[in-house]
Amino acid sequence: MSYSGRKLKYFVEDSDGWLRRNQQVAEQFVMAEDDRETKEMLSLLAPRAHFASFWGVVRGLPAAVALQAQEREHLRITWTSGLQPLTSRTFARNGYVHVLDRERMSFIPVLGPWLSSFFQRPVQELLVVREGRVVFRGMGYVWDIGKH
């Protein structure tokens, strides 16, 4: 008997029965992020966030708000895939990020966004959901071993 790798990647072991519930929570989190509803994201960031500037260091919720504002000002993320379950508690989605820099070509009228699209990098976001709550969010570049 033979198996197709493409078909097998959609089968995720759900031994504890949490896959469907956790997937709904992860999808709600992603939709809230895409709709700019920031309450849950800020609650995730607040306990560990710190933000440093010339004027000093801030921790907690004000730091989380500052980090999110910096991210929105300097990054544009386009998601190319929906959430894919890796385990019953871990979900991933893929996309592209490109850095917006005010001094560079992305702010040239008409041609700027098109020219800057050549400098996009693939990213992957991972979400870990436990007991109906997102407990970890990680985002990073997708590294290609053959190129780096």
Structure confidence by residue, pLDDT tens digits, 72-110? 777 888 889 999 999 889 999 999 888 776 556 666 777
Q: What is the rounded CA–CA span in Å between residue 77 and residue 79? A: 6
pTM of this structure: 0.69
Sequence spans of domains, the chain: 17-141
The pLDDT assigned to 11 comes to 64
Residue 12, token pair as written in the block: 């995720």
Q: Of 143 and 58, which is predicted with more confidence?
A: 58
Q: Which SS3 state, helix, strand or coil, does residue 130 take?
A: strand
Q: 29-56: string of b/e by CB count within 10 Å (b at 16+)?
A: bbeebeeeeeebbeebbeeebebeeeee
Residue percentage of the chain with pLDDT more than 70: 78
pLDDT of residue 57: 84
- As a whole number of angstroms, the distance between CA 138 and CA 94 comes to 12
17-141 has which CATH code?
Answer: 3.10.450
